[in-house]
A = this chain, B = another copy of it.
Amino acid sequence: MKLIIVGGVAGGASAAARARRLSEDAEIVVIERGPDVSFANCGLPYHIGEVIPDRAKLLVTTADRLRERFNLDVRANSEVVSIDRKKKVVVIHDLKSGKSYEEPYDKIILAPGAAPIRPAIPGADLPHVYTLRNLVDTDRIKQAVDGGIRQAVIVGAGFIGLELAENFIHRGIATTVIEHSPQVLGPFDPEMVAPIATAVVKMGVELLLGQSAEAIVATADGMTIRLSSGRECLAQLVVLGIGVRSENHLATEAGLEVGPRGGIRVNEFLQTSDADIYAVGDAIETTDFTTSVRTQVPLAGPANRQGRIAADNVFGRQSKYRGTQGTAILGFFDHTVAMTGSSEKTLKRLGKNYRKVYVHPAHHAGYYPGAVGMTLKLLFDPQTGKLLGAQGVGGAGVDKRIDVLAVAIQAGMTVFDLEEMELCYAPQFGSAKDPVNMAGFVAAGLVRGDHPQTDWETIAAAPDSAFLLDVRTELEFNNGHIPGALNIPVDSLRGRLAELPRDRPIVAYCQVGQRGYLATRILMQSGFNVSNLGGGYKTYLLHHPELL
């Protein structure tokens, strides 16, 4: 067996190590176009920020180590330029010598990754306009930063854009982030990332949402970036972080099938349209775990797992990839936002039937010092309660809850299962009713019909459709409330029913939904047409980030 692996980073390196464990006899050749194999992609912005001062830490392993330990034939600075599927040879171009040669294969695993998109705007190819994909890019950007630049512009407020922004702030650089859409972090629902946008601004970043870069012009002192709004930004460094596209040219030139967005098409065994060629990682099209639609999700975790699975299949073990859930997380200073499964916007786009709840618990017992608030959003099937997606925003402990919910989605669990989860509780770590239990209680109550819920969007679309009842204290009400609401604190509600209309729907709300729930139960049992505002005033605020 001669296996050629094209690409030696996440998926490729995993495939190579797995392949060797499965077979001591196989000839395993790893062809990597860049100078480094298996580096820590996700650490690159933090090296620029000197959070990871030692560059060597980014080298997960080296070509020498792979040779020694795994007896791999690793060829860095080498590019596979074509595949002759009839002759079963690849043509390899040695970037150092400039020579090309043929190498026969029995099987290929393609792990070429994805390349940052460079927009077709004037000036996108100027010398100090970068993308960030590998160590070479990192070195260039870091060199510019070390050289003492004062201003940087980041185009794109996605994961890499915001991670870079944090690290530019660490380095004392005046940073502007330009994002053409009206929200940061596109995969998330907009209200869930509103607190992140607020934090970005609070940390001193200039955040320009809903604006595109239209041209970059070299000046004496650096560059001017012209925006769609007419505005101009100055910078000595521009980083483009607007997304990636599958490195599919080798695959397409070899006649392998690709999807509409360019992802190399594979079956559940990660086999391309050629049974002897597998493909893994950011370059492929996979199946979305919750919706079963084809998708492209460039994430390190799936890439690594796919590498193992492809190697298994190459060596005759039938191993299936179950699809990608899209579990993703961003840390921005002390803030965390994470998601798993489908977003609300995806469910809407696909016309799926869903409902949602929000809870706003503390990350551990409120009576223990240091409790930090978070918001969790659950998306689920309104009939069965099956979980479809979850998002969380806050600080400490958000990663834990989204991991728990990722497993629940993987297991096909329902909101009723969340009610029963028995999670770690000591006051430093959680609560007797963990945030995940709380979200389960609210969602299960909704599915069971215990408490009708009205989402803010419904009221926003038809403000006069309901009578708004604020059941918080007078103090809370006076500190900010939804315009037009009547304030009756829940503790006096039972004695003040006469003040409420019986001829129109009432929507009750409190700060987070809990008192609103009790108010809803009280009013329901007194014959009112009532519902609880989903997630209470705190969710209302997420829809009104100017009030955050």
Contact = CB atoms under 8 A, between A and B. Distances in A.
A70 B518 CA distance: 9
A251 interface: no
Given A52-B369, A411-B408, A494-B71, A424 B338 contact: yes
A88 interface: no
A329 interface: yes
Most buried by B among A71, A425, A526: A425
Interface in A506-525: 515, 517-518, 521-522, 525
Interface string A31-68: 00000000010110010000110000110100000001
Contact of A400 (B340, B399, B522): B399
A442 to B, nearest CB: 12
Given A51-B368, A368-B51, A521-B21, A423 B403 contact: yes
Given A69-B518, A400-B399, A328 B424 contact: yes
A324 B58 CA distance: 43
Instruction: Please list the 4 inter-chain residue pairs (A to B) with the smallest Cβ-Cβ separation, ordered nearest first.
Output: A411-B411, A329-B424, A300-B432, A24-B525
Classify chain A: how many residues form its interface, as a range: 35 or more
A72 to B, nearest CB: 12
A490 interface: yes
A399 B490 CA distance: 36
Interface of A: 10, 20-25, 40, 42-43, 46, 51-52, 57-58, 60, 68-71, 159, 163, 289, 299-305, 308, 322, 324-331, 336, 338, 340, 365-369, 399-400, 402-404, 406-408, 410-411, 413, 417, 419-430, 432-434, 437, 441, 450, 490-491, 494, 515, 517-518, 521-522, 525-526
B25 A525 contact: yes
Contacts of A406: 421-424
B407 A525 contact: no
A46 B417 contact: no
B328 A69 contact: no
A57 to B, nearest CB: 4
Contacts of A300: 425, 432
13 contacts: A21-B518, A24-B526, A43-B365, A43-B427, A69-B515, A159-B426, A301-B432, A303-B432, A305-B422, A325-B422, A400-B403, A403-B423, A411-B417
A288 to B, nearest CB: 12
Contacts of A46: 368, 427
A12 to B, nearest CB: 13
B369 A51 contact: yes
Nearest to A429: B399
A128 to B, nearest CB: 27
A365 B58 CA distance: 10
A428 B432 CA distance: 26
Most buried by B among A300, A410, A517: A410
A434 B301 contact: yes
Most buried by B among A23, A58, A327, A366: A327
A20 B328 CA distance: 40
B403 A329 contact: no
A301 to B, nearest CB: 5
B426 A57 contact: no
A417 B25 CA distance: 30
B402 A404 contact: no
A336 B402 CA distance: 21
Nearest to A60: B367
A369 B441 CA distance: 38
Contacts of A60: 367
A404 B424 CA distance: 10
Contacts of A22: 521
A71 to B, nearest CB: 7
A191 to B, nearest CB: 20
A490 B69 contact: yes
Contact of A367 (B52, B433, B437): B52
Given A305-B420, A327-B423, A24 B299 contact: no
Nearest to A405: B407
Contacts of A410: 417, 420-422
A282 to B, nearest CB: 12
Nearest to A331: B428
A422 B321 CA distance: 12
A58 to B, nearest CB: 6
A74 to B, nearest CB: 14
A79 to B, nearest CB: 24
A406 B20 CA distance: 33
Most buried by B among A22, A399, A404, A441: A399
B51 A304 contact: no
Nearest to A327: B422
Contact of A427 (B42, B301, B322, B413): B42
A58 B328 contact: no
